[in-house]
Structure 1
Amino acid sequence: MNEAGDFSHIPIIDVAELVAGGPGRREIAARLGAACRESGFFYVVGHGVDEGLQGRLRELSRAFFALDLERKMRIRMALGGRAWRGYFRVGDELTSGQPDQKEGVYFGAELPADDPRVRAGTPLHGPNLFPDEPAGFREAVLEYMAALTGLGHRLMAGVALSLGFDEAYFAERILGEPLTLFRIFNYPPPADPGLWGVGEHTDYGLLTILLQDDAGGLEVKSRSRWVPAPPLPGSFVCNIGDMLDRMTGGLYRSTPHRVRNPAPRDRLSFPFFFDPAFTARVRPIDVPGRGAIDDDRDERWDRASVHAFDGTYGDYLLAKVGKVFPELRASVL
């Protein structure tokens, strides 16, 4: 086994028994735990998410991004207000202060105006902005988000088992109303090969479930190298985020990653973020057998400690998103 944090490949885990609640789910949970300790990344197959739905989402997304800019800007993020939804142009989003070479659309749970969280003006909660074209885009996005929400619950049940807890551990404490955020990104071929589609970063929450097209370009940071995470048919790439790192005292690590489009055409990416409730207070948990907190502040690209944070997930997230779109910061803070 590699030294923790130094790995050469990303494991592939068949989660069919976990998704079905079958007798083999504890064995699968053990494999998830090993992946969370060693790389923080893993592929899942046997997940049960309909391939036809995935294909439909890909085709509709390509059709949307092929529209002229004026039509895409009809759902620009400035119109989403506190819900933080809608379209952004290439270069509008920043990672570590640098413009990303991608365009995209932000979605979240579709909430009506009379939802208590929307009425209270809770940031990142509200209705989505959907384009008029292509037809069927709204339905595909919402169906896909529902399927990934179900998968997220099952994968986090497996993570709970891997830590020695009951399957419902996270559901009962911080996932009663998970914050589910979905992005569709389009990476054009870079005009400058030195530019990154998205620079080195970690994800903020608990679990990211990523659908890729066949272009490739995702890289994961090992202690001694950058490891490619190429697309595998029928799989999702999953990684854990800063909040699970914090909760486990660094036992399960949120691993830096980055993207550069290597293809001579556009690259599509579909990250789904399955995160704690906005109001959930995220605290360290008593993991059986864990030693002292392993804080990697000095190794992180931002030199920030996820273990020094004390507050709700909403507090943590708002501090991050305000740096991603500085010009929209006032709309959510």
Structure 2
Amino acid sequence: MSPHSPSGEFQQVPVIDVRALVDRTSEDSARQAVAEQLGAACRESGFFYVVGHGVEEALQQRLETLSRRFFALSVEEKMAIRMAHGGSAWRGYFPVGGELTSGRPDRKEGLYFGTELGPEHPLVRAGTPLHGSNLFPREPSSLREAVLDYLAALTRLGHSLMGGIALSLGLPEDHFVTGFMADPLVLFRIFNYPPGPSTAEDGQPAWGVGEHTDYGVLTILKQDEAGGLQVKSRAGGEVRWVDAPPLAGSFVCNIGDMLDRMTRGVYRSTPHRVINRSGRDRLSLPFFFDPGWSTEVRPLEAPALRGVTTTEDSHERWDRRSVHAFQGTYGDYLLGKVGKVFPQLRSEVLSNG
């Protein structure tokens, strides 16, 4: 049975084998066939699993093991690399409750990483937010190498997937990699969701992270066996939440607000949320593959979008904001969003700047 109903309301997240996109020797017809599956998923659910992605299992397991070792440290040891030490680069550790979604504290702790940039880099010298060097813990010391290897592997996969998305829109496969994704803003998080009560003190569900959409173009997520990710089915009169459970050997991907904007709402960023009901810690590793900081994201002139007018859906969105009315660079958009996630840190960064 197809995972998508004719109305566009999806029942489950589709699984796509992207081997043909990752293997540069694949025939054009095979690459186009995968691209068409990606396009259908972006239109219907905004989420999809990828298998055949080529990221070594040994690297994934090494990173997961080291991440669990870090989160098992004492609070004092973890706070030695707290985000306040990262300055405008917004890197390092935050404790449970230190990040907000829609103004509510998330039930998770985490590590923020990004592309490793030294002090000599022009964007770092200019004090550009979210650019700089990472904060790595003393223990486990090998986490640094694992994170940097993983960033390189996921960046390669991100470019391959964006090639497929370009083909799905009738654009040359290298449209994004030679354009505004040539020097992407890469952000990476390692989150630990501790077990806890099903409801918060105010009687609301104790979400690990509440309903939200991602900000950029493409998110590639590795999740452990605990589950808990849910995706909002946007079609039909009744709201439905579809589980996106762990699938061995896969990453679960979703598109963000900027791809929604570029495609005039044809490819839509879909709200999702997390609640940890497993009774144990849940490990989640989202990798965000985004436009360059100074990029002005505009609607694409793509063959698949000819004659399409912008779909304005702010009345349906979790934040009631329009991704299509925004004016400015991706950096402007992202800073406004991240500042709401860490309001105290944003105040400290701005006051020190």
Structure 1 length normalisation: TM-score?
Answer: 0.98
Q: Which residue of 1 aligns with 2:105?
A: 99
Q: CA deviation at 1:3?
A: 4.8
**Matched position secondary structure for 1:205:** coil
Instruction: Give the ranges of 4+ consecutive aligned residues of structure 1 lying more than 6 Å apart after TM superposition.
Output: none
1:307 to 311, 324, 337: 324
Structure 1, residues 163-182: CA drift from partner, whole Å, max 9, x if none? Answer: 00001111222112100000
Q: CA deviation at 1:296?
A: 1.0
1:242 to 257, 268, 271: 257
**Matched position secondary structure for 1:186:** strand
Q: CA deviation at 1:311?
A: 1.2
2:18 to 15, 19, 42: 15
Matching of residue 200 in structure 1 with residue 203 in structure 2: no
| Alpha-carbon separation, structure 2, partners of 1:46 and 1:260 | 28
Structure 1, residues 175-202: CA drift from partner, whole Å, max 9, x if none? Answer: 1210000000000012344200000000
Q: Which residue of 2 aligns with 1:269?
A: 284
For structure 1, the residue ranges without an aligned partner over 5 or more in a row are: none
**Relative to 1, partners in 2 of residues 1:117 and 1:189: Cα closer, same or farther, differing over 3 Å?**
same
Q: Which residue of 2 aligns with 1:215?
A: 226
| Alpha-carbon separation, structure 1, partners of 2:101 and 2:227 | 20
Higher mean alpha-carbon deviation, 285-294 vs 39-48, is at 285-294
**2:170, 2:304 within 8 Å by CA — same for their partners in 1?**
no
**Matched position secondary structure for 1:243:** helix
Q: Which residue of 1 aligns with 2:63?
A: 57
Q: CA deviation at 1:260?
A: 0.2
Matching of residue 29 in structure 1 with residue 35 in structure 2: yes
The code of the aligned residue for 2:232 comes to K
| Alpha-carbon separation, structure 2, partners of 1:263 and 1:289 | 42
| Alpha-carbon separation, structure 1, partners of 2:115 and 2:301 | 31
**2:198, 2:277 within 8 Å by CA — same for their partners in 1?**
no
Matching of residue 2 in structure 1 with residue 17 in structure 2: no
For structure 2, the residue ranges without an aligned partner over 5 or more in a row are: 200-204
Q: CA deviation at 1:289?
A: 4.4
**2:259, 2:268 within 8 Å by CA — same for their partners in 1?**
yes
- RMSD of the alignment, in Å? 1.1
Matching of residue 298 in structure 1 with residue 315 in structure 2: yes
**1:240, 1:253 within 8 Å by CA — same for their partners in 2?**
yes
The code of the aligned residue for 1:212 comes to Q
**Matched position secondary structure for 1:199:** strand
Q: CA deviation at 1:4?
A: 5.6
Matching of residue 327 in structure 1 with residue 344 in structure 2: yes
**Relative to 1, partners in 2 of residues 1:4 and 1:301: Cα closer, same or farther, differing over 3 Å?**
farther
Provide the aligned length of Structure 1 versus Structure 2.
333
Q: CA deviation at 1:19?
A: 0.5
**1:82, 1:331 within 8 Å by CA — same for their partners in 2?**
no
Structure 1, residues 218-237: CA drift from partner, whole Å, max 9, x if none? Answer: 00000241000000000000
Q: Which residue of 1 aligns with 2:142?
A: 136
Q: CA deviation at 1:266?
A: 0.3
The equivalences for 1:87-126 within 5 A come to 87-126=93-132
1:230 to 245, 248, 256: 245
| Alpha-carbon separation, structure 2, partners of 1:330 and 1:85 | 16
**1:188, 1:266 within 8 Å by CA — same for their partners in 2?**
yes
Q: Which residue of 2 aligns with 1:68?
A: 74
Structure 1, residues 228-256: CA drift from partner, whole Å, max 9, x if none? Answer: 00000000000000000000000000000
**Matched position secondary structure for 1:292:** coil
| Alpha-carbon separation, structure 1, partners of 2:81 and 2:6 | 47
| Alpha-carbon separation, structure 2, partners of 1:5 and 1:244 | 19
**Matched position secondary structure for 2:315:** helix
Matching of residue 279 in structure 1 with residue 278 in structure 2: no
| Alpha-carbon separation, structure 2, partners of 1:209 and 1:96 | 22
